[in-house]
Structure 1
Amino acid sequence: MKIIAMIPARYSASRFPGKLMQDLGGKPVILRTYEAAINTQLFSEVYVVSDSEIIASVIRQAGGKVIISEKEHECGSDRIAEAVTNLETDIVVNVQGDEPFIDKVSLAKLIDVFKKDNKKEVDLASLKVALKTKEDIENPNHVKVITDVNNMAIYFSRSVIPYHRDTNVSVTYFKHKGVYAFRKQALIDFYNTPMTPLEASEKIEAIRYQEIGKKIKMVETTVESIGIDTPEDLEKAKKQLKL
């Protein structure tokens, strides 16, 4: 089974333009992420997929592999799908370009889902983490996920799901972390399908996979990695790097 990592890396970012090229301990954020992915030793190959020659140049100078997107893309899955179309691989892991502190243990758990899936019933694997506070549970920026008894995703929403009608029943709420491992065909099918109605409503790409019949296995993690979405996040990352 060939397993590769794809790191989607857009230069533009609405909240923090050029964030992937910001300095983090003497290296750009995207280079830190690329090196961290290599150092996990989980992947046959690691690629950065970008729309920017600035980002591409940094990775190439470090001896890394880059694929330049030919089209404009609204989400990471589309960008990765275009890139893997002509690559020989079985499993593709989406590593977030703005998360340089890669959680190797969680990624290994995602890959293990496919190693154990002898019947090839799982199309995607992704991560979930428990939400602890009422503020986090009600925050629409935190995508919630509910699963069946086998940890297969039932639905994703920015709303509070499940609705806690009977307060005598204990409920654990889970946030979906946007880290995926895909079978290659699932990515291609997603790419060849226009945005679906529920996906368009919620603005959650995982829903498109469900609307076209793909099965998503959720894996629980307790690790909340630092994602760099704002200048404040970058300062947190700098402190983390010095620990």
Structure 2
Amino acid sequence: MKAVGIIPSRYASSRFPGKPLIDLKGKSMIQRVYENASKATLLDEVIVATDDQRIYDHVLGFGGKVRMTAEHHPSGTDRCGEVAREIEADIIINIQGDEPLVNPNQLDALLSAFNDPAVHIATLGSPNISSDDLTNPNRIKIVTNAFGNALYFSRSAVPNDFHFKGNAQTFYPFLKHIGLYAYRKSCLLELVLLEPSKLEQVESLEQLRWLYYGYSIRVIETSIETPNIDVPEDVEKVLNLL
């Protein structure tokens, strides 16, 4: 079973243009993501997928593998799908290009889900969730079923504990979503053909499209969570951890 990690990387970020190439103590962000991902024992190959010549040349410069993709992709999933069509692979893992401290053990845990032939999509959830996380719309919450598959993802606190008598957080295993996804290649090529759903547009969560059309998403529990760089203010916390 060949597993390939794809790192979608765009230069034109509205909130932080050029962030893949920012310097983080002597290495660019995209290089740090690439090198950390390459340490995952279950990954056979790592490829950067970009639409920018500067990123393309930079990745080649540090010895990485890179593919040029179209500019029009609305999401990283679509960019991964373009590369997936062109390569030999059984499993594709979409690695966030703005997480320079991505942990290879986290990637291996996610890829191990595919030892179960029933799994076609997998993601991660963390039980390390605070009351602030529950009310923060930028922290995505997951509800799972008895088999570890996602029932729903939401920016709201789910399940709602309005009628619960007691401390819901000590009673129910709330999960915070960790935004890494892995797919069987055949499944990913189906996902990128799906029309957006109204449900995902209301929550602004792409994975709800997959649930809406009947796909199952296995949720693997992890205690590992690494910071991402979304805006310039996020850089300092990553530098402190390097």
TM over 0.5: yes
Q: CA deviation at 1:41?
A: 3.7
Match of 1:189 in 2: 190
User: Is 1:131–1:172's contact at 8 Å kept on the other side of the alignment?
Assistant: no
In 1, Cα distance between equivalents of 2:232 and 2:133 = 21
Q: Letter of the aligned partner of 1:26 in structure 2? A: G
CA shift digits 1:20-40 (9 cap, x unpaired): 111011111101111111233
Task: Provide the C-alpha distance between the structure 2 equivalents of 1:65 and 1:106, rounded to a whole number of angstroms.
Answer: 21
What is the match of residue 83 of structure 1?
A: 83
For the 8 Å contact 1:121–1:215, the answer to whether it is kept is: no
TM-score (norm 1): 0.93
Aligned to 1:97: 97
Q: Secondary structure at the match of 1:40?
A: coil
* Other-structure match for 1:18: 18
From 130, 146, 150, give the equivalent of 1:149.
Answer: 146
- Match in the other structure for 1:220: 221
Distance of 2:71 and 2:186 partners within structure 1: 20
Aligned partners of 2:46 and 2:121: how far apart in 1?
19
Superposed, 1:4-153 pairs within 5 Å as 4-115=4-115, 117=116, 120-153=117-150
2 CA distance for matches of 1:108 and 1:11? 28
- Write out per-residue CA displacement over residues 140-174 of structure 1, whole angstroms, 9 at most, x where no aligned residue: 11111100112110011111110112133512321
Distance in 2, Cα, partners of 1:212 & 1:68: 30
Q: For 2:47 and 2:187, locate their aligned partners in 1 and report how far apart those are by CA, in whole Å.
A: 19
Name the structure 2 match of 1:202.
Answer: 203
Distance 1:129 1:19 in 2: 26
Q: Which residue of 2 aligns with 1:230?
A: 231
Corresponding residue for 2:164? 166
Unaligned runs of at least 5 residues, structure 2 = none
Distance 2:37 2:158 in 1: 33
Residue 193 of structure 1 deviates from its aligned partner by 1.2
Whether the aligned pair in 2 keeps the contact of 1:186 and 1:214 (CA below 8 Å) is no
Distance 1:222 1:39 in 2: 19
Distance 1:65 1:166, change over 3 A: same
Task: State how far apart, in whole Å, the 1-side matches of 2:73 and 2:62 are.
Answer: 26
**2:31 & 2:199 partners in 1: Cα distance?**
35
| Partner Cα distance (2:40, 2:2) in 1 | 15
Measured in 2, the distance between the counterparts of 1:40 and 1:212 equals 31
Over 3 Å counting, the alpha-carbon distance change for 1:71 and 1:12 in structure 2 is: closer
Runs of 5+ in structure 1 lacking a partner? none
Offset, 1:131? 4.8
Task: Check 1:45–1:132 CA distance in 2 against 1; reply closer, same or farther (3 A cut).
Answer: closer
Structure 1 residue matching 2:175: 3-state secondary structure = strand
Question: Is the CA contact (8 Å cut-off) linking 1:131 and 1:137 kept in structure 2?
Answer: no
Segment of structure 1 superposing worse, 213-222 or 67-76: 67-76
Contact 2:135–2:156 (8 Å) recurs in 1 = yes
Aligned-partner residue type, residue 50 of structure 1: T
Q: Give the structure-2-normalised TM-score.
A: 0.93
Q: Distance in 2 between matches of 1:40 and 1:124?
A: 19
